[in-house]
């Protein structure tokens, strides 16, 4: 079925503009192209990383400048069409596993610098992109045009003139290049993000990913960022840890490959924007009562008899402390920690089962590790432990079931 190939909109001035290649590299890092397009470090951006989706496996394309197997024959307009509309030069539609719904908000100038960097600074690699991971009829790509018609917000980034330049820079990075919503915004029936431009409180309200739970980044007091300062946010994005928490799961790679390289000004702009987001709808969310000492008192009096509580004292308290408060910047606290209080407990369960290693960043060079306990505790014990953590020291989040642990253990 032939559909007309859409034309991207570009300001005419871009044709005469002198691109800035160094800035193009920064754009590639913030956009984290390598997260999906680099499978083997030796073949940077040559594609091939398997991308499991509910439809089957999608393979990210070779985006090196190789003429036959990469994007060497792309014109700048072709590139903009792929980045903003999800359409290849031959009219083939891309699956939205490529986050073009977010890149649609990237400016003409940033795309120009990025394209020039990819064409001139990346080594061409000959490697044919696999396309056999999805079977018919889902492999038919033309219905994606209908998906785009329903869900692709073709407007570029629209600045809010009532807000500061810093706020607008943060909104531009979060909604566009950094595509935080790809993981942090809940998805609807057709896997579309429920909001992409911050106009409703579902934007960045927390989601569920394969094996993890990207937290709610809005201003909720329990599972959100209400109790974090802008400096706390800057610190976690650039070093992977702060006084409240430490990153785990796929956020570890986001920090290691992308956000640790944010300039201070850009990290601060993101923090300013996130701090301005009103709370997400509260139903079913956790709450936190600061200064609640009941759990610690019970433990100290020898009265903590629950299975989960005893496992905590045996296996966790040496590092995370009986008070659950951890050791600042070394062992994250488990009290009032949004990652522990998240509506979906996948991240907490995954860390208990598999452990995690913090990224070593320029700002925090040590790579502290948390050991995994999958070998030691069965599903029921892990569920009891996780439920204890989610209901102690002022944490009030829903209990975890053995079935939820079993699903992640199989993962």
Contact between 354 and 373 (Cβ < 8 Å): no
Q: Which of 61, 116, 195, 343 binds ligand HEC (CB under 6 A)?
A: 61
Beta carbons of 307 and 227 less than 8 angstroms apart:
no
If binding is defined by CB under 6 A, does position 60 make contact with ligand HEC? yes
Q: Is position 182 an interface residue for ligand HEC (rule: CB under 6 A)?
A: yes
Q: Does 102 bind ligand HEC (CB under 6 A)?
A: no
Q: Which of residues 274-313 bind ligand HEC (CB under 6 A)?
A: none
Smallest distance, ligand HEC to C-beta of residue 4, A: 19
Site for ligand HEC in 195-224 (CB under 6 A): 209, 212-215, 217
220-249 b/e with 16+ CB inside 10 Å = b?
Answer: bbbbbbbbbebebbbbbbbbbbbbbbbbbb
Spatial separation of the C-alpha atoms in residues 208 and 387, rounded to whole Å: 19
- Establish if 392 lies at the interface with ligand HEC (CB under 6 A): no
Q: Cβ(28)–Cβ(47) under 8 Å? A: no
Q: 126 is written with which tokens?
A: 């000959």
By CB under 6 A, residue 128 contacts ligand HEC:
no
Cβ proximity to ligand HEC, 26 vs 161, nearer residue: 26
Tokens in use for 380? 């029921």
32 binds ligand HEC (CB under 6 A): yes
Site for ligand HEC in 222-281 (CB under 6 A): 236-237, 245-251, 254, 259, 270
By CB under 6 A, is residue 337 in contact with ligand HEC?
yes
- In whole angstroms, give the CA distance from residue 209 to residue 344: 10
Using the minimum distance from each CB to ligand HEC, give the nearer residue, 8 or 214: 214
Q: Does 65 bind ligand HEC (CB under 6 A)?
A: no
User: Would you say 316 and 373 are in contact if contact means Cβ atoms under 8 Å apart?
Assistant: no
Give residues with Cβ within 8 angstroms of 182, minimum separation 6. 99, 102, 193
Regarding 320 and contact with ligand HEC (CB under 6 A), the answer is yes
Site for ligand HEC contains 352 (CB under 6 A): yes
Give me the least distance between CB of 289 and ligand HEC, in Å please: 19
Closest C-alpha among 27, 24, 30, 6 to residue 78: 6
Choose between 161 and 270: whose C-beta lies nearer to ligand HEC: 270
């Amino acid at each position: 079925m032939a559909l007309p190939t859409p034309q991207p909109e570009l300001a005419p001035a871009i044709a005469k503009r002198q691109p800035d290649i160094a800035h193009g590299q920064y754009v590639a890092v913030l956009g984290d192209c390598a997260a999906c397009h680099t499978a083997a470090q030796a073949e940077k951006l040559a594609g091939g990383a398997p991308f499991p989706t509910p439809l089957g496996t999608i393979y990210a394309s070779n985006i090196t400048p190789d003429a036959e197997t990469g994007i060497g024959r792309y014109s700048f307009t072709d590139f903009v069409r792929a980045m903003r509309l999800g359409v290849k030069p031959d009219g083939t539609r891309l699956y939205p596993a490529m986050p073009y719904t977010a890149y649609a908000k990237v400016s003409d100038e940033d795309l120009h610098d990025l394209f020039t960097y990819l064409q001139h600074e990346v080594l061409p690699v000959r490697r044919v992109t696999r396309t056999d991971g999805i079977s018919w009829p889902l492999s038919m790509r033309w219905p994606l045009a209908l998906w785009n018609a329903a869900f692709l917000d073709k407007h570029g980034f629209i600045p809010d003139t009532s807000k500061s330049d810093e706020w607008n820079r943060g909104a531009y990075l979060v909604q566009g290049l950094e595509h935080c919503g790809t993981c942090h915004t809940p998805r609807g029936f057709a896997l579309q993000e429920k909001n992409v431009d911050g106009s409703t409180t579902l934007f960045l309200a927390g989601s569920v990913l394969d094996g993890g739970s990207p937290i709610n980044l809005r201003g909720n007091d329990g599972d959100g960022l209400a109790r974090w300062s802008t400096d706390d946010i800057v610190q976690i994005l650039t070093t992977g840890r702060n006084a409240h928490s430490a990153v785990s799961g796929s956020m570890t790679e986001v920090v290691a490959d992308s956000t640790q390289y944010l300039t201070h000004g850009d990290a601060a702009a993101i923090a300013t924007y996130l701090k301005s987001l009103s709370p997400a709808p509260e139903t079913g969310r956790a709450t936190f009562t600061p200064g609640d000492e009941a759990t610690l008192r019970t433990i100290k009096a020898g009265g903590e008899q629950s299975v989960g509580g005893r496992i905590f004292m045996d296996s966790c308290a040496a590092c995370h402390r009986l008070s659950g408060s951890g050791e600042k910047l070394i062992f994250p606290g488990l009290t009032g920690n949004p990652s522990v209080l998240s509506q979906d407990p996948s991240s907490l369960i995954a860390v208990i089962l598999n452990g995690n290693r913090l990224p070593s960043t320029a700002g925090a060079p040590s790579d502290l590790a948390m050991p995994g306990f999958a070998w030691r505790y069965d599903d029921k014990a892990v569920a009891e432990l996780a439920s204890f953590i989610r209901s102690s020291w002022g944490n009030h989040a829903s209990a975890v079931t053995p079935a939820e642990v079993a699903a992640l253990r199989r993962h």
